[in-house]
Each structure stands twice: as structure tokens, then as C-alpha cells.
Amino acid sequence: MDEKLIGGFMSGNIWRRGRPYYGFYLTTDRIIGVTGFFGGNLAQREWNSELEAALFSVRDEFVGSPLAKGTDLPAGLVTGHQLSKDDAIKAIELLEGKKDLELSREDVEELRIKKHKRGLKRFFGRWGKLTIRTAGDTYTIAIGREVTEGEVQRLKGMFTAFDKEKFVIEEK
């Protein structure tokens, strides 16, 4: 089966290791993490194509692909900016060039979203965190306090679609 783009999400409310404007893109085979801060003023950034702008500009939008249809993903997951088959192939190529993190489906042991209800972490600006655990490493991505419930729902939907057996939601 050829790799297909499920969708992705980039937000100024998500960051990894001090890298602001982080995004996740999921394919049928892997998780690709990218940073959206490419230097300079983001509002005045010139993109090489509309597709590049759709993937990497910080618009807090879900980027979806109709190619996810036909896989056994939940109905209603694919919303927002729809990509043609050719654009989805180009999108995966663009992601290859910008990736900060890449994890194959087989390597991922657990995906966990943890919501901080109170305490210092919540006070200092974090809604919670996403933890991706593999056999060799654990990757932590912070989710900022300004994240909307809609953004959290989109993240949950994406990771459930990627692998619902490995996805856990924890509220403390």
C-alpha cells in the first residue's frame, strides 16, 4: 500500500524543545513533526506555493486529505483544506524536506495527551502535553494554555485515526 497523507495541524500553541509553531502531519505510515518558524516575520513570509503555505503557515488549521478516505479512518476526520492526490504526494515530499521528527507507525508504542488541570505547569502557560513513546525514546511536545478546545479535539482526532489502540487521554 502506498503511503497516504491523513492530515496535519500546525499551531503557535504547540512547541517542541523551545521551537515555537510546531506541527504534526500524519500519513498512513508515520508521524512527521515540523517547526513552522523559518526565520523572519511570519506574516510577511513568502511561500513557494499555495501548498507550502497551507502546510507550514501558522493558521491553526487542520490540513486534511481526501486520500484518507478508503482507509479505515473515522468518518468526519478529514476536514478543512482538502488536497488532491497530486498535491498530497507533493505535500509528503515538502514534509520530507522540513521534518524535525519522524516516527514510523510500528515504532510508536504509545501516544498520550495529558491535560494539566491545575498547578505550576498550568500556571506557567501549558494546557498540557503530548508524549510519544517508542522503544528507544520519549518525545514530549508542549501544548500551550491558549490552545482552543477545537484544536485539542483535532489533535485527538488525528492521533485516534493514526492508531486508536496506542492513543491515551489523561486528565490530571
3-19, pLDDT tens digit by residue? 888 778 777 778 887 76
How would residue 150 be classed by pLDDT, with cut points 50, 70 and 90?
confident
CATH number of 5-171: 2.30.29
Q: What is the mean pLDDT of residues 82-90?
A: 77
Burial 91-127 (b: 16+ CB within 10 A, else e): bbebbeebeebebeeeebeebbbbbbeeeebeeeebb
pLDDT at 30 over 70: yes
Are 52 and 42 in contact, with CB atoms under 8 Å apart? no
**pLDDT 10s digits, 97-126:** 888 899 999 999 999 988 877 655 544 556
pTM assigned to the model: 0.79
Return the percent helix, strand and coil in the chain, to nearest 5.
25, 40, 35
Weakest-pLDDT range from 20-24, 55-59, 94-98, 160-164: 55-59
CA distances from 45 to 49, 53, 57 (A): 12, 9, 9
Per the model's pLDDT, the better-predicted residue between 97 and 32 turns out to be: 32
73 pLDDT tier (thresholds 50, 70, 90): very low
- pLDDT on residue 74: 44
